[in-house]
């Protein structure tokens, strides 16, 4: 079905449903506009002990722990090992998951173990490519936290190695497999908002923790932290607790707000509209408040151009991050189209369709005589621009996940482990991961150059 025919079908169904249910119509909703429930069916097999998937965690920090806790909720998954460069985190791993797990500072010891089927890589960004490639070559399935890469030129080797290894590689933008994304994609393809013209994404934070000023343990020292290994290929500097425990604040190890936050939005956007990504970016921003030694901005605004493709019209996207939002914080992700807008969350989707004003109002008519105004109105009326069908297909509808929904993070790991068991496809493979990371990294490139930058989203190359 073509996009035009799909849209016509959507409007027709909306009109019929609304007319039947309410004199104040709401799109595909009950008369009181009650939220519609989203559904997820999980089909599990009865796994024997021989079918159990043994996993290891490489990078036992904040995200690594959250990842592992979620992964272990999936039936038939067992943690057998953990790796980190700070001894206190290895102690925490044993505290959480038992003294029997193998703990090490050297990720290579993890990869050499024959009893490990898959690894979760939740290290600082500058280690993602090295460990992911090594893990795939060692015959391990990989779940690698986003962004997949720190630099544009790192992604192709992961794509190549994943293909040659035959192993599963899932990139960890954990909202990707959510019910919200799934429903948004269905609605978009059904023409719910017409042709997309703009994406509006923002994330406001108002706390030191939200600005990456994470706590530093009191026993942190060159004895408890393997700082030299942490540096890896980054420039050599003296031991610095801030660089180790607050690595997101530094270009040498992280990717700034773009790699941490933009990449989630690009994953959702590209998935919902079936796009390879933008082809141009222009960024601005600065370090306005958190002047704690970091060398990345705490306020960032980036504008992106998306070219016309078979799945979407040309449109613009605006990404805004503020780590010192005096409003108290919040966020949003909204697709705006020619016929409506769609706000997407991991657990919900809201579609709002408004009536497009096609006839002149008193504002523009005031300069004409009463006689001419009457003639103009008659002319517009004869064109029949405002139809009953377009009026009925307006209103607001929200789809929500049920209270017992396991969550987007769980769904992402469920997809990963199901793909391992069935040799199936993950929702965010390395190609998808590079396109999302590459689009995000354009913001850093433009900010650094102080000029627009171009990107080939199909070939995933900086121009």
Rounded Cα–Cα distance for residues 255 and 266 (Å): 15
Choice between 44 and 425, residue whose per-residue pLDDT is larger: 425
Asked if residue 16 and residue 67 are part of one domain, the reply reads no
Residue 65 lies in a domain: yes
Residue 214 lies in a domain: no
| pLDDT (0 to 100) of residue 29 | 39
Asked if residue 120 and residue 28 are part of one domain, the reply reads no
Residue 290 lies in a domain: yes
Asked if residue 444 and residue 408 are part of one domain, the reply reads yes
- Contact assessment for residue 306 and residue 279, using Cβ atoms and an 8 Å cutoff: yes
Asked if residue 199 and residue 146 are part of one domain, the reply reads no
| pLDDT (0 to 100) of residue 391 | 58
Asked if residue 137 and residue 191 are part of one domain, the reply reads no
Give 417-420's long-range contacts (Cβ < 8 A, gap of 24+): 417/53, 417/71, 417/74, 417/76, 417/77, 417/118, 419/168, 419/170, 420/53, 420/117, 420/118, 420/141, 420/168
Of the listed ranges 23-32, 44-53, 213-222, 410-419, the least confidently predicted one is 23-32
The predicted-structure confidence for 246-257, as pLDDT tens digits, reads as follows 999 999 999 999
Residue 331 lies in a domain: yes
Asked if residue 195 and residue 340 are part of one domain, the reply reads yes
Asked if residue 160 and residue 293 are part of one domain, the reply reads no
DSSP assignment letter at 153:
G
Residue 216 lies in a domain: no
Residue 361 lies in a domain: yes
Residue 177 lies in a domain: no
Position 398 confidence tier, pLDDT thresholds 50, 70, 90: very high
Task: Give 245-275 as a DSSP string.
Answer: HTGGG-TTT--HHIIIIIHHHHHHHHHHTT-
Residue 250 lies in a domain: no
In sequence order, the 6+-apart residues with CB closer than 8 A to the CB of 306 are 275, 277, 278, 279, 312, 314, 315, 316, 317
Asked if residue 362 and residue 438 are part of one domain, the reply reads yes
CATH number of residue 326's parent domain: 3.30.360.10
The predicted-structure confidence for 420-433, as pLDDT tens digits, reads as follows 999 999 999 999 99
| pLDDT (0 to 100) of residue 32 | 43
Rounded Cα–Cα distance for residues 312 and 293 (Å): 42
Position 373 confidence tier, pLDDT thresholds 50, 70, 90: very high
CATH number of residue 119's parent domain: 3.40.50.720
Single pTM value for the model: 0.90
| pLDDT (0 to 100) of residue 43 | 67
The predicted-structure confidence for 78-100, as pLDDT tens digits, reads as follows 999 999 999 999 999 999 999 99
Residue 71 domain boundaries: 49-172
Asked if residue 269 and residue 189 are part of one domain, the reply reads yes
Asked if residue 196 and residue 334 are part of one domain, the reply reads yes
Asked if residue 288 and residue 167 are part of one domain, the reply reads no
Rounded to the nearest 5 degrees, what angle is found at the Cα of 283, between the Cα atoms of 281 and 285?
A: 165
Please, what is the average pLDDT of the chain? 90
Q: Say how many domains are in the chain.
A: 2
Pairing, β 102-104 against β 118-121: unpaired
Of the listed ranges 34-43, 177-186, 214-223, 340-349, the least confidently predicted one is 34-43
- Contact assessment for residue 204 and residue 329, using Cβ atoms and an 8 Å cutoff: yes
Last residue of a domain, one of 144, 172, 200: 172
Asked if residue 202 and residue 93 are part of one domain, the reply reads no
């Amino acid at each position: 079905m073509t996009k035009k025919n799909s849209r016509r079908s959507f409007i027709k169904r909306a009109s019929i449903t609304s007319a039947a249910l309410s004199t104040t119509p709401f799109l595909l909703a009950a008369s009181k506009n009650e939220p519609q429930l989203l559904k997820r069916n999980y089909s599990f097999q009865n796994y024997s002990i021989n079918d159990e998937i043994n996993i290891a965690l490489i990078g036992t920090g904040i995200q690594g722990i959250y990842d592992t806790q979620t992964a272990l909720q999936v039936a038939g998954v067992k943690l057998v090992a953990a790796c980190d460069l700070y001894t206190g985190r290895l102690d925490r791993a044993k505290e959480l998951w038992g003294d029997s797990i193998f703990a090490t500072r050297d990720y290579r010891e993890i990869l050499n173990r024959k009893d490990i089927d898959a690894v979760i890589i939740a290290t600082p960004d500058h280690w993602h490519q090295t460990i992911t490639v090594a893990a795939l070559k060692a015959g391990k399935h990989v779940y690698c936290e986003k962004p997949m890469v720190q630099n544009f030129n790192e992604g192709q080797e992961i794509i190549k190695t994943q293909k040659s290894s035959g192993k599963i590689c899932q990139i960890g933008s954990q909202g990707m497999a959510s019910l919200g994304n799934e429903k948004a994609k269905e609605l978009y393809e059904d023409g719910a908002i017409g042709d997309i013209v703009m994406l509006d994404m923002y994330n406001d934070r108002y706390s030191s923790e939200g600005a990456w000023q994470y706590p530093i343990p009191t026993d942190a020292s060159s004895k408890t932290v393997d700082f030299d290994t942490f540096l890896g290929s980054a420039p050599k500097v003296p031991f610095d607790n801030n660089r180790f425990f607050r690595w997101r604040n530094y270009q040498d190890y992280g990717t700034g707000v773009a790699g941490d936050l933009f990449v989630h939005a690009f994953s959702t956007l590209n998935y919902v509209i079936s796009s390879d990504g933008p082809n141009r970016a222009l960024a601005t921003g600065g370090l306005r408040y958190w002047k704690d030694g970091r060398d990345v901005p705490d306020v960032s605004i980036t504008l992106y151009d998306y070219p016309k493709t078979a799945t979407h019209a040309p449109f613009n996207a605006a990404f805004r991050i503020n780590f010192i939002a005096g409003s108290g914080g919040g966020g949003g992700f909204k697709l705006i189209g020619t016929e409506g807008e769609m706000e997407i969350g991991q657990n919900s989707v809201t579609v709002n369709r408004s009536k497009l004003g096609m006839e002149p109002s008193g504002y523009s008519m005031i300069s004409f005589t009463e006689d001419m105004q009457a003639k103009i109105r008659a002319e517009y009326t004869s064109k029949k621009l405002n139809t009953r069908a377009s009026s009925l297909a307006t209103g607001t509808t929200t789809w929500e996940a049920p209270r017992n929904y396991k969550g987007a993070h769980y769904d992402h790991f469920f997809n990963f482990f199901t793909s391992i068991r069935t040799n199936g496809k993950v929702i965010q493979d390395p190609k998808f991961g590079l396109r999302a990371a590459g689009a995000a990294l354009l913001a850093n490139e433009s900010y650094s150059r102080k000029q627009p930058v171009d990107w080939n989203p199909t070939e995933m190359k900086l121009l």
